Amino acid sequence: MNNQIEALVLAGGLGTRLRPAIGSSTPKALAPIGKEPFLNLLFDNLIRANIERATISIGHLGSAIREKYNQGYKSLQIQFIEEATPLGTGGAVQNALLSMRCQFVLILNGDTLIEYPVKEMIDKLETGVDAVALVTRVENSDRFGSIEISETGFVTGLLETESHKPTHVYAGVTLAKPRALSSLSLPPFPFGFEEEILRKLSNRRQLKAILTPKGFLDIGTPQSFIQAQENAREE
């Protein structure tokens, strides 16, 4: 059991790009993949990693998420933190950390699914850095910024420029020390997690990367959502 880790799922976004595919009354995190809402798949990943507690940062249409998981999910204990106004992904992390008490926080995008090597991430975090980001390689990063990694495994750059060639990208998973994140000097809400928090950690040489050969499932756009549904049908 990973008692020292608590998951933080970022599910407070407006989901504007996905509305043409799922409508305006369904939160993105509950978009159906096969016969299940997306969050079920994400929570199953947490359970497989022996993580027992998760906090969900909710905002737009958050009442539907709260209603569905108010009693938890299988063996996973779930609590909710509501964004009264949009905080951005970075603001949501800082806001949630105020009420979380854990040694390590596993920060997950609420629209991305990938397998993560928790033990390896803990081992790397205990080498003296403040955070470890999961990074994967894609053939076309036209929707993502790229990540530069040194030979010693430090993240040396987070580039917003989209690339139409193979590159490394952030896979939506970070394991971090909560106190280190809370001590960062950050702008007023709203602000982004990658743009502000990960970039500041990188600039301080406090962010390492773990490369994974696993691909990730993403439902951020109608096109990627359709692909995710097709993948589910094939399994």
The answer on pLDDT for 117 being more than 90 is: yes
**pLDDT tens digits, one per residue of 53-99:** 999 999 989 999 999 999 999 999 999 999 999 999 999 999 999 99
- CA torsion 70→74→77→78, rounded to 10°? -40
Q: Beta 77-82 vs 53-58: how paired, if at all?
A: parallel
Q: What is the pLDDT of residue 49?
A: 94
Euclidean distance between CA atoms 234 and 181, whole angstroms: 40
Q: What is the pLDDT of residue 228?
A: 83
CA angle 181, 218, 16 (to 5 degrees): 85
SS3 119: helix
Q: What is the pLDDT of residue 24?
A: 86
Which helix (H) or strand (E) segment holds residue 6: the answer is strand 5-11
CB 136 within 8 A of CB 169: yes
Tokens of 13: 């976004």
Q: What is the pLDDT of residue 234?
A: 63
Q: Which one-letter amino acid corresponds to residue 100?
A: M
Mean pLDDT over all residues of the chain? 91
| Residue 50: closest CA among 118, 114, 106, 128 | 118
